[in-house]
Amino acid sequence: MADGSISTADHRFPCDNCGSDLRFDPAQNQLTCDHCGNAAPIESSGPWTSSIQELDFTQAVNDRLADADIEETRVTTCPNCGAQTEFDADIHAAECPFCATPVVTDTGAHRHIKPRGLLPFALEERAARKEVVTWLGSLWFAPNGLTEYARKGRKMNGIYVPYWTFDADTKSQYTGQRGTHYYETRTVMRDGKRQQVQVRKTRWRGVSGRVARFFDDVLVLASKSLPKKYTDGLEPWDLSALEPYKPEYLAGFRAEGYQVELVDGFTEARAYMDRMIRRDVKYDIGGDDQRIGQVNTDVSDVTFKHILLPVWLAAYKYRGKTYRFVVNGRTGRVQGERPYSAWKIAFAVLIGLILALIAGFVIANSQ
């Protein structure tokens, strides 16, 4: 499947009262017209992920998904970070929301797997900006100018970031060794004297067994536009509150197309599963210590879904450098590039030296 993005034509809704575009209002959880104040409710399916259809992984990798599960869209690709995002049809030049690079919109067509669910934004842009300013204010070495710029700077971008989730049933057979600690008494020389000490030893015994685990909604980032350490820092996400995908939730927001292909996403999910299985194996071996020999895992009933998670994004260019901050659009949790102020660091070093000199002077006088 090729990379893609959500089509803007699918999530533009005219106001019944004045004809202007409605936008999704996170505070009211409804569509709102900024021009005349008209509102239109969104019928919620409720926070039940069981209503969101999982897709068969094997069928997808063999290109046997139904046509209803695939869509073709037009996207804009950033020449700097590679992000693929949608813009309104009447916009021909804009700025990449991920890295603040000027981009010219293109008309590249892409086929991709449709999103099955999303977490709607619950945090307004004003609240997200406040969280960023508070976070910057807590960093003592952050430049004051950047904090002020963030407070008064450009509007933050609401982006739906793509993720994969994977379900799988696993059954594993293993071999290994169980270690049991015991102690021996030995005589050693310390400071010219004989002393008896307890030395721990481990007795190993071969074991084998089986473990089983069903994995539900293993989450994998499907974007390469932001450092993974930032997006991982936004977790946890309340996936139990996922809503079945509705274009109304994207009104007034942008959506990024996935850049991590399905097979690569499952490879990352499988690595996570293997780590959890090894933890289960160690627990099953028991004893005081464990050695794992071989683990053979049968993976079956693999399903997946493409989902969108809400992120407020700010990319500020300050004194020639770009700083990026991301905010969880549900909880307000902030992650980003930690900025440093050279003069604040120099001032802190100077104060440290002065305090060290004062302490040395006091100690010298006291002696």
Q: What is the pLDDT of residues 260-291, one digit of tens each?
A: 999 999 999 999 999 999 999 999 999 999 99
**Winning range, highest mean pLDDT, from 95-99, 239-243, 340-344:** 239-243
Same domain flag for 224 and 366: no
Question: Residue 180: is its pLDDT beyond 90?
Answer: yes
Q: Are 99 and 324 in contact (CB under 8 A)?
A: yes
Question: 37-41, 275-279, 337-341 — which one is most confidently predicted on average?
Answer: 275-279
**Residue 285 Rama label (left phi>0; alpha psi -120 to 50; beta):** alpha
Same domain, 347 and 246: no
Q: Is 294 exposed, middle or buried (CB count within 10 Å of its CB: 0-12, 13-18, 19+)?
A: exposed
- Residue 137 within any structural domain of the chain: yes
Please, are residues 201 and 239 in contact by the beta-carbon 8 Å criterion?
no
Say yes or no: 46 and 31 in one domain. Answer: yes
Q: What is the mean pLDDT of residues 334-361?
A: 59
| Same domain (yes/no): 106, 12 | yes
Residues 224, 363, single domain; the answer is no
In a domain, residue 242? The reply is yes
Q: What is the mean pLDDT of residues 306-324?
A: 81
> Which pLDDT band holds residue 135 (cuts at 50, 70, 90)?
confident
Predicted local confidence at residue 101, as pLDDT: 66
Residue 354 inside a domain? The answer is yes
Label residue 12 by pLDDT band (50, 70, 90).
confident
Same domain? For 362 and 251 the reply is no
Q: Are residues 34 and 156 in the same domain?
A: yes
User: Do residues 255 and 86 lie in contact, with contact meaning Cβ atoms separated by under 8 Å?
Assistant: yes
Lowest mean pLDDT among 62-76, 100-114, 263-277, 302-316: 100-114
Same domain, 131 and 232: yes
The arithmetic mean of pLDDT across residues 131-139, rounded, is 74
> Does residue 225 fall inside a structural domain?
yes
In a domain, 229, yes or no: yes
Q: Looking at the structure, tell me whether residues 12 and 150 fall in a common domain.
A: yes
- Quick check: pTM over 0.85? no
Q: Is residue 100 part of a domain?
A: yes
Residues 331 and 352 in one domain: no
The predicted structure's pLDDT at residue 153: 62
Statement to judge: residues 24 and 118 lie in one domain: yes
Does residue 132 lie within any of the structural domains?
Answer: yes
Question: For residue 353, what are the domain limits?
Answer: 342-367
Q: What is the mean pLDDT of residues 129-148?
A: 66
Residue 266 belongs to some domain of the structure:
no
Domain count, the chain: 2
Same domain, 30 and 65: yes
CA–CA dist 80, 299 (Å, integer): 39
